[in-house]
A and B are shown apart, each in its own frame.
Chain A
């Protein structure tokens, strides 16, 4: 058990900086998830912690000990890999005990620890199975047992569920949470799947272009994203963004206006700002009750409807001739989520209301958040 501290960690390759001045403090026993898009540097960061890659600059401390130059095996960590990476020619027992046998523990100690680890991941009675005889989920349990058995201070998990099918992934998610509770060990977890990050972590570290964007509890990242990147990355489907500027009356864009007093916030008239609003914070104007101040009304035309069962996603165009782009949010469209029993027709004109208390404003240039929720 230990805390992990990264100070000014930078990893440069010939002409690319994969990790750029990363500073992190991970508490003892904390479950921290690194999320970010492909190639953002989250795996490289984890590999510097593991010691599989040496940072170009910076120091890493685990449990108050500088481990920057230590080989992986001496860092008190163990790691679970995306490919599961079992040794195919060894049975479960040999796989789990490999590291212990290398360190020449006595046989009784090895047996005791292997049994204990297998117990935790519920692999009893499978000790002499070969990896090829097991299912994906069972193999992943062996990989986790292999990590547990070393009794590490820190667990590193690099997309351990990415290669499992969707159902098993959800199941293993719960198991990992149980494991964390049971072991109470620091876990650093890398994923590109923000649902995994949201459900399991104590804190999420959102990484982009090698830089730490925000590290906060999941709901803080969700409700108070520090910048446009985090706002767009966390949440599925992602936040709507509308670019506009600050006027004396508040926010003004081609198709959207939201009134507020600029003096009440850290903005001045003429500032270029981006308004952000999550799909579930957009409501039909007809019979809206849940919004306290339904003053931010927007004219829209419905386009595609996506019924998801528990909700319906409605793609809205803010100009009748706007072109709908499903994959990206543009200033002339909004995505709205409504209850399935609400009747919405395709290709109709409707009014929608933005919940003022859940409107975010960002500086368009820097992307930094200005305010979360208007009065």
Chain B
């Protein structure tokens, strides 16, 4: 009789699930299992036991670890952002110390009528969009090429990512030389293949200046996009390529229809990093142009530095900085919310 009992040890496949997973099941939310206890126990037990529980709660235990770093981040990041907002309201100029007495929105009103703000704002948006799209496209292409089972994969990858390890001061100097109108590599190469018509003073011609900068920044950042996309590609099971190939899809179609649509998460996270970078890009332009890139290439981050630290219009600079912060927030806010919803935080 017992033979039938033990014939099969797994009653049904669901049961084979490990209990480790079940633990998170009760609330349908991860980490519900151990919730610090402090709140859960509030309704039960005497005061003394609440105290013991509080002392034992992982929340209390964890404070020494994240507390000090959180205080530093709180002060240097959030405190400073708030302080910046206050400074933007007090109309502070020149060499003196700020006086926190009169608050007004004058600096922001000034932004609205300042033509240099308008052009810097639009240039920033163009930089943000074109730079992001271009870098993603090149990065994706690189990732797909690298993922084709090539030899010396590591070497190729190392070379493509190399610019990312360099300082903008260094790359700006390299690109200033590349873009040199008379003897720089770009124009020399264009002349070499008979495209003399395309040669121009890349960094002074207002029509192309911004795009020359975008191109150089793309050179530096596309390797980063490649790394992110490569991780995304490697996460897609090999079977899918094979299944699609067996269905008779061409390589191009496999990528367009099967693979690329699955890279949404990679695209999103890389895009956020690129866009936020575009907002704070400063070093590169500062090395090339100092504080005055000219109207056609001026962006908010350079304008902020120029207004505050060159012209000493602190409040006005702080107002530009607030706009930058708001723009960054509008990029990362939805991203972090989406990450949170997917439980990836």
Q: Do A and B come from one complex?
A: yes
- Shortest beta-carbon distance, A113 to chain B, in Å? 27
Considering only CB atoms, which chain B residue lies closest to A52 in the complex? B34
Please tell me if the beta carbons of A236 and B19 are within 8 angstroms of each other in the complex.
Answer: no
Q: Once the chains bind, are A16 and B5 in contact (CB under 8 Å)?
A: no
Q: Which of B7, B41, B45 contacts A236 (CB 8 A)?
A: B7
Contact B52 A69 (CB under 8 A): yes
Q: Which of B22-30, B71-79, B158-166 lies at the binding interface?
A: B22-30
Q: Mark B189-209, 1 if CB is under 8 A from A, else 0.
A: 000000000000000000000
CB < 8 Å A-B pair total: 118
B41 contacts A162, C-beta separation under 8 Å: no
A-contact bits for B71-114, CB 8 A (1 contact / 0 none): 00000000000000000000000000000000000000000000
**Would A159 and B4 be within 8 Å (CB), given that A39-B25, A53-B34 are in contact?**
no
CA distance A14 to B33 in the complex (A): 10
Residue A320, interface by CB 8 Å: no
Contact of A222 among B5, B32, B33 (CB under 8 A): B5
Shortest C-beta distance, A91 to chain B (Å), equals 26
Question: Is A38 in contact with B22, judged by CB distance below 8 angstroms?
Answer: yes
Interface residues on A, range: 35 or more
Any chain B CB within 8 A of the CB of A132? no
The answer on a CB contact under 8 Å between B23 and A238 is: no
Cross-chain contact A56 with B7 (CB below 8 angstroms): no
Task: Let me know if A280 is at the binding interface, CB within 8 A.
Answer: yes
Range, interface on chain B = 35 or more
Q: Which residues of A contact B26 (CB under 8 A)?
A: 13, 16-18, 39, 44
Stretch in contact with the other chain, from A21-29, A192-200, A246-254, A263-271: A192-200
Contact with A along B1-45 (1 / 0, CB 8 A): 101111111111011111111110111100011110100110111
Q: Which residue of chain B has its CB nearest to the CB of A337? A: B4
A42 to B15 Cα, complex, angstroms: 13
Using known A-B contacts A38-B17, A54-B40, determine if residue A43 contacts B4 with beta carbons closer than 8 Å: no
Tell me, rounded to whole Å, the shortest Cβ–Cβ distance linking A216 to chain B.
Answer: 15
- A37 within 8 A of partner (CB): yes
If the complex has contacts A13-B26, A43-B22, A190-B19, are A236 and B33 also in contact, measured as CB distance less than 8 A? no
In the complex, whether A360 has a CB less than 8 A from a CB of chain B is no
A47 touches B33 (CB 8 A): yes
Partner of A69, one of B19, B25, B49: B49
Of the candidates B14, B22, B41, the one having the most CB atoms from chain A within 10 angstroms of its own CB is B22
CA distance A13 to B33 in the complex (A): 8
Q: Which 5 A-B pairs have the closest CB atoms?
A: A195-B9, A16-B26, A54-B37, A280-B4, A39-B22
Residues of chain B touching chain A, judged by Cβ–Cβ distance below 8 Å, are: 1, 3-12, 14-23, 25-28, 32-35, 37, 40-41, 43-45, 49, 52-53, 56
Residues of A within 8 A of B (CB): 12-18, 37-40, 42-44, 47, 52-57, 68-69, 71, 82-83, 158-159, 162-163, 166, 190, 192-196, 198-199, 222, 233, 235-238, 278-280, 308, 310-311, 327, 337
Of the A-B pairs whose beta carbons lie under 8 Å apart in the complex, a sample of 10, sorted by A's number, is A38-B25, A39-B25, A43-B22, A53-B33, A56-B40, A56-B43, A192-B19, A193-B9, A195-B9, A235-B5
Known: A13-B27, A38-B25. 5 other contacts (CB 8 A): A38-B21, A44-B33, A159-B19, A193-B9, A311-B3
